[in-house]
Structure formats: structure tokens, C-alpha cells
Amino acid sequence: MYIRKNIMIQTVLHKAATRGDANHGWLHSRHTFSFADYYDPARMNFGALRVLNDDYVEAGMGFGTHPHNNMEIISIPLEGDLEHKDNMGTISVIRKGDIQVMSAGTGITHSEYNKNKDKPVKFLQIWVIPDKKNVTPRYDQITLNMSDRHNTLQQILSPSADDAGVWIHQDSWFHLGQFDKGFSINYTFKKKDNGVYVFVLKGDVTIGEIALRERDGLGIWNIDKINLKADSQDAEVLLMEVPMNLSF
């Protein structure tokens, strides 16, 4: 048991096999939090982190035009090429190494398709509840140097357009890391009273005394810093720091 200033540190563990499983043939999606037909009142969100979908889209298939509003939507490609089109006139393709963000704000419509006819696309779709409603919709994407996350945490998202990575309307910071076996690293929270959700993309890691395997997720809060240790070679993690108390 850990204590910080007489407050017990809180954790929530989501094992990979306990996620919602939606297999539509052309789309196989695993939902860490309640989404579409998957509903679990105990798994609605982790603070401002509302959606974490692990999506597999068959060759040439995709999501037709659909609307969003008042949500910060982040896409992280893991394999293949995903084509995006929206009503702001954006046409783009995102690939592994890219980070895409949309502030849906007052309303946006878009489509996402696997650009390739011969191989699937895999990507993470993440929704973060914003700190303000009805902002002007916007789109952005960047390409990162993936070697910059070897045995470190590469920042890919923040609340500031002047900081590394893309930015969103929320006091959130995302990092990606790829680690050699046995490597250990500390992460200090950027903002008091935030929480961190660690999602294991590959391999095995330990957070404190909690062992995690591929696609497991661990949320932790009421703490200022965590330690992450890689238990397998080339372990990969996505670390998402988000507010635990929502402003609306």
C-alpha cells in the first residue's frame, strides 16, 4: 500500500482480455472503455480519457462519413496507411510514426479508410474530453522520429502548441516509449491531481509492483511519480496523463 500526504494511491487495472470485443468482419475493435454496443458502467472513462479503441481494419475498408462534436480525438497508427477526409477540406494519410489530432468542437464530419487494398491497418483511436466546449474545429498531424523514443519517453501531445507533439484543449500529456529489457525510467506527473493511464503496446512491463502484459492498461492517481521497468526486449508503452476531475 502506498500513501501520499495521507491519501491512498489509487489504481485500476484493465487486463487485455477484459476489454470490449466488437468484430464486424471488416473491423475488429477492442474497447478499453464503454463504446458503441459495449457498455460497462464501471468502465466509462479514466478521468478525461473517454475512449481507447484498438482498431484493426481490413484492406480497402473503413469508416464512412460520420459526425463528432466537443471531443479531442487522437489517432495513432500502428501499422498500414489510414486515409482521412473531413468537411474542412482535409485529405491526408497517416502512417506509423504519425500522430493525428482533431478538435471536434462545434462539429466536424470525417471518414477514415484503409488506403491499401492488400493489407490491414491497425491504429489506436483515443478520445479526450476537452476543457471547454464549442471550440472552432481543427485538424493537425505530425510525423515523429521513432528512434527518439528508444529508452526514453517521447512526448507526442500536450496542452500547448509551442510544446513537443500535437496539442489539444485539455491539460493532458501523452508519451510513447520503446525500451530494452531491464531498462527502468521514472515519469513525474506534469500537473498535480492528474492521473496517468499506461497502455502496453508490446511486451511486458512493471509499474511499481504491478506486472503488465501486451494490451493491458493501468490507471494510477493520487501520486506524483511512477516508475516503469521493461521486463521484455523492445517493450512499448503509451503513457497518457489526463485530469481526473472534469471541468464540465
pLDDT digit string (tens) for 85-128?
A: 999 999 999 999 999 999 999 999 999 999 999 999 999 999 99
pLDDT of residue 120: 96
Residues 16-35 as b or e (16 or more Cβ within 10 Å = b): beebbebeeeebbbbbbbbb
- The beta-strand segments (E) located in 159-247 are 166-167, 173-179, 184-188, 194-202, 205-207, 210-212, 217-221, 225-230, 235-243
Grid coordinates representing 127?
A: 478520445
Confidence check: pLDDT of 6 > 80: no
Q: What is the mean pLDDT of residues 42-60?
A: 97
Report the distance separating Cα 228 and Cα 226, nearest Å: 7
Region of 65 please: left (phi>0), alpha (psi -120 to 50) or beta. beta
Residues of the chain with pLDDT > 70: what percent? 96
Q: Which residues contact 162 (CB under 8 A, 6 or more apart)?
A: none
Residues in the chain: 248
The model carries a pTM of: 0.95
pLDDT of residue 1: 37
Q: Which residues contact 248 (CB under 8 A, 6 or more apart)?
A: 131, 132, 133
Which residue(s) pair with 200 in the sheet? 237
pLDDT of residue 186: 98
Pairing of strands 153-158, 166-167: parallel
Report the distance separating Cα 125 and Cα 116, nearest Å: 19
| CA dihedral (243, 52, 187, 223) positive or negative | positive
Torsion angle of C-alpha atoms 239, 241, 244, 248, degrees rounded to 10: -120
pLDDT of residue 3: 42
Report the distance separating Cα 222 and Cα 218, nearest Å: 14
pLDDT of residue 246: 85
pLDDT of residue 8: 86
Report the distance separating Cα 221 and Cα 244, nearest Å: 8
Please report the domains of the chain, with CATH numbers, ordered by start residue.
3-243 (2.60.120.10)
